[in-house]
Amino acid sequence: MKEFARLVMFLTLISVLPLTAQTFKFDFKEGAEGWIGDFSDYPVGDEEFFELSFSHGPLSADIDDSQGSLIVSGNNHSDDLFMFVKRKITGLQPDADYSIIFNLEIASNVPTNAVGVGGPPGEGVILKVGATQTEPQKVQVDASTDYYVMNIRKGQQAQPGMDMDTVGHVGVSDTTTVFTLIQRSNRQKPFTVRTDAMGEVWVIVGSDSGFEATTTLYYNRINLEFKRVTTDVEAPSAGAISLYPNPVRDRLIVNNQSLEQIISLSVCDVNGRQVLRQKVEREQKVLSLDVANFSAGVYCIRLLLTNGLVNTRYFVR
């Protein structure tokens, strides 16, 4: 088993790591660097009442006001308030799959384990990251709805969505009284996205609030690590076995149109850990695998065939 794990890791590294990797770093010393701020999940026309504010300016004087930052602030008077910053990333491979690691450095003055209106001021404000081909925007569902929502699937408060995932909350510590830098990252669960035909994608970082009072955040640094992922590697005995959709969100379909039958299958993550194993009935030509609970990343699926050969494929969750 150890030898197999090493082999899986080696093959996966060959198929993933040498591919295009790009890092985008933003420290906001000279300006907003193309980032745009906006707000959603509040009544149309209530911008002043909600005290919504986005700007580029000095980092809090509690830390170092010689540094620059993106400053977002809002006073939540409803069940929810979404404050976000977004930017288009260009220069990627067209129609390609990428995993993205978001590394955030944010200044917050919010304590943990504190009591707040509607929810705690720290744990009740959830940070989220994501990426889409479509520009993230606030929209009205229809002309008769006087309420802004997002045009992407961000999820609600602590719940992730198809287009955004959670990376923690804005709380600093139980004894917080001043603005303090905190770091948040999705390194343990990279976000996957496909670029458009121009090699472009929109990234978005935001705070989803259930705390019904004022939240102010300084985005001091946002670093993005893009890694190209591919699933084109396959065993010589691949035959007519296909996986779709790939990348996959919830359910992976294995379509076997080869002359051989699949006896069993197993799925391993990038570290060689087996996360799924099951036997297959001989007459099954189409298999449906539930991968909704898999973490984002690259996986290896091994299909044992009746001719004794093993068909190895890769897919992205």
Question: The domain spanning residue 35 has which CATH number?
Answer: 2.60.120.200
Listed in sequence order, the residues at least 6 apart from 156 whose beta carbon sits closer than 8 Å to its beta carbon are: 80, 208
Do 113 and 225 sit in the same domain of this protein? yes
Query: Of the candidates 229, 252, 283, which is a domain's last residue?
Result: 229
pLDDT at 14: 41
Do 166 and 127 sit in the same domain of this protein? yes
Domain carrying residue 299: 241-316
CATH code at position 300: 2.60.40.1220
Tell me the residue type at 7.
L
Do 130 and 178 sit in the same domain of this protein? yes
- Residue 100 sits at the vertex; the CA angle it makes with 123 and 130, to the nearest 5 degrees, is 50
Q: Considering the domain boundaries, does residue 9 fall inside one?
A: no
pLDDT at 123: 95
pLDDT at 13: 44
Q: Considering the domain boundaries, does residue 1 fall inside one?
A: no
Query: Of the candidates 229, 255, 270, which is a domain's last residue?
Result: 229
Do 42 and 156 sit in the same domain of this protein? yes
Listed in sequence order, the residues at least 6 apart from 34 whose beta carbon sits closer than 8 Å to its beta carbon are: 87, 88
Do 219 and 261 sit in the same domain of this protein? no
Do 247 and 119 sit in the same domain of this protein? no
Rg of the chain in Å (alpha carbons): 23
Do 57 and 126 sit in the same domain of this protein? yes
Q: Return averaged pLDDT per consecutive 10 residues of the chain, 317 residues in all.
A: 47 46 95 97 94 97 96 92 97 89 97 89 95 94 83 89 93 95 93 90 96 95 89 46 85 86 87 84 85 86 83 84
| Structural domains of the chain, count | 2
d(CA 7, CA 19): 19
Which is it for the CA torsion 266, 267, 273, 276, positive or negative? negative
Do 192 and 154 sit in the same domain of this protein? yes
Q: Considering the domain boundaries, does residue 3 fall inside one?
A: no
Query: Of the candidates 205, 229, 253, which is a domain's last residue?
Result: 229
Q: Considering the domain boundaries, does residue 10 fall inside one?
A: no
Listed in sequence order, the residues at least 6 apart from 83 whose beta carbon sits closer than 8 Å to its beta carbon are: 37, 39, 52, 54, 72, 73, 74, 206, 207, 209, 215, 217
Q: Considering the domain boundaries, does residue 6 fall inside one?
A: no
Q: Considering the domain boundaries, does residue 212 fall inside one?
A: yes
d(CA 225, CA 25): 9
Do 207 and 254 sit in the same domain of this protein? no
Q: Considering the domain boundaries, does residue 92 fall inside one?
A: yes
User: How many CB atoms are closer than 10 A to CB 16?
Assistant: 21
Do 157 and 265 sit in the same domain of this protein? no
Do 211 and 252 sit in the same domain of this protein? no
d(CA 101, CA 129): 9
Do 167 and 271 sit in the same domain of this protein? no
Strand pairing class (262-268; 298-305): antiparallel
Per-position b or e across 41-61, b if 16+ CB within 10 A of its CB:
bbeeeeeeebebebebeebbe
